[in-house]
Structure 1
Amino acid sequence: MILEKVINRIVIQSEYKDFVDKYIDNILTEFKGKIHSIYMCGSIPKGTAKPFKSDADFTIVCVNPKDIDYERLSNIKDRLLEEYPVVTKIDTIICSIDDVLSKPNEWGFWVKIICVCIYGHDVGEKVPPIIISPKFILDLNTETKEEVDHIHSLLSNASDNTMKTRYIKGYSKRLIRALYSLVLEDTGVWQDDIIKMKNAILNYCEIDSALVDYLYACYLDSNVLVEEFLGIADEVYSYFENALNAMAASRTSFG
């Protein structure tokens, strides 16, 4: 089964059009000649963003990611957040053209399936069709442990309540996304709607439903004890890791 694109067409609401145009202009001006293409994912390009509640998710594709200085990128973000309070947060991912083309089940999946191109030539069109398979699911989760360990560390050491809330929400979403990847062969589609992810996990995963419900509740309202959350998160990740290892072993045994 071939994965289809999450966002088939760009529908940016009027409240966000100037912001998106300004972001593109700022990036192209600041990193002149270094940018191959710019992409978005999430609620803004889908046309479902909620003013003062939704964030903006961009991906920059270039020849060499080292050409994009993070401090200069952060300055652009700070200026735009001040000018456009309708946006709560701006996240920008940077990757190379080679990343997208040489890792079709990782960066290729991200650009081809999750994102839509808002500037430049869509390099995702050069990525071959992505077939849902155990290999794809394993490749998709190559960096999941590293990402989970990182956010676990950030949350464990966070002293500011605002950051704790943000990390718990992000950690919950990341774990739900990881669990959802396990049931892709059952659903046949990639979802970016978290409640649809949750429901599919409950339908197809053998994990304790109470753990999934807890993560979803934390995603909606992150006002929970950090120690309690980390305990549940560790339990969920342990289930996920065991399932992934079983998938890898099964794939090896069947050649």
Structure 2
Amino acid sequence: MIETGSPDRTRPGLDADGAFLREGSTERVTAEFAPVVAGTVEAVRAVFGPDRLHSAYLYGSVPRGTAEPGRSDLDLLLALRQPPTTADRADLDALSAGLDARFPQVDGVGALLFDVERLLGEAERYDLGWFVACLCTPLLGPDLAERLPRYRPEDPLLARETNGDLAERLPGWRGRAAAGEDPRRLTRAAARQIVRTGLTLVMGRWRGWTSDLVRSAEVFGSYYPSHADQMLTAAAAARAGSADPAVLTLLLDRLGPWLAAEYARVHGVKGAPGVAGAA
């Protein structure tokens, strides 16, 4: 269970016992985004209802209080009582599109849909479980974090299972680029994942946590100075995207492949034999 104990000023993002502090709170939502959150609660209740929905969560810049009107997206996770169906996913797509069209404060809505059993299962204990317990803010329903353990950044399973699959993501991004996807949107998505992977690569040594992309790049760079400038470029693209082909080449053909290989060397690959819950 995640407890919101006193922060440890020497270890960012952690409490005095060295466990993750849950980031974000509905109390941190700024006045500009308060109507967005209220509208989200209303829409989720109306579309999914108590028979399908177990709980709903916000994550990202909105519950951290750092969202910028017109530039930040709205990130939402829904936990269903049963495994999501095609109809559930269609409803979520429509809900997301409706919120995006209704509120000019947000630049897109990213929504995740899982069932409770998967979120609490052993296979996701160090990935989605950690994500819900540490990075998601309860919005509706019972909080699943009450049924999950406390997490620590030095746990090697946490690093391996959160971002040990970067190599598997790269071909998908390259395929999207070849298909002509908006480069701004693609670089933003890829860069975010790469920067976060850079942080989780070193978080056990740093013994801290941050979701700030620039700070994440700086922390990474202090351990890998030869790649520091590349990661700072990725952090800039992660915030606003980039139409510069050189940035996409950096992410997909230079920094991304190197980071995937280094991650596998240091932490291993996600789902590798010997990991609890791995297939």
- Normalised TM-score (structure 1): 0.86
Other-structure match for 1:58: 76
Alpha-carbon spacing, 1:164–1:155, altered in 2? closer, same or farther (3 Å): same
* Structure 1 position 232, deviation (Å): 4.5
Q: Is the 8 A contact 2:24 2:65 kept in 1?
A: no
Q: In 2, Cα distance between the equivalents of 1:207 and 1:63?
A: 47
Q: Is the 8 A contact 1:105 1:136 kept in 2?
A: yes
Amino acid at match of 1:58: L
Tell me which of 230, 248, 253 is aligned to 1:234. Answer: 253
Change (3 A) 1:36 1:235: same
Q: Does 1:112 align with 2:130?
A: no
**1:100 aligned residue:** 119
Q: Among 33, 37, 52, which residue is 1:34 paired with? A: 52
**1:146 is matched with which residue?**
168
Aligned partners of 1:34 and 1:62 also within 8 Å: yes
Residue aligned with 2:42, SS: helix
Preserved CA contact (<8 Å) 1:60 1:92: yes
Q: How far did residue 199 of structure 1 move? A: 0.4
What TM-score comes out, normalization by structure 2 length?
0.80
SS where residue 15 of structure 1 aligns? coil
Counterpart pick for 1:17 among 30, 34, 38? 34
| Number of equivalences | 247
Aligned equivalents of 1:212, 1:130: Cα separation in 2: 26
1:222 equivalent among 228, 242, 254: 242
In structure 1, runs of 5+ residues without a counterpart are none
Summarize deviations over 1:91-119 as a string: whole Å, max 9, x none.
10112212222222101111011111011
- Cα deviation digits, residues 71-103 of structure 1 (max 9, x gap): 222222222222211211111011221222222
Q: Give me the identity figure in percent.
A: 17
Aligned to 1:77: 96
Indicate whether 1:135 and 2:152 are aligned: no
Q: Does the 8 Å CA contact 1:104/1:130 hold for their aligned counterparts?
A: no
> Structure 2: which 5+ residue stretches go unaligned?
1-17, 274-279
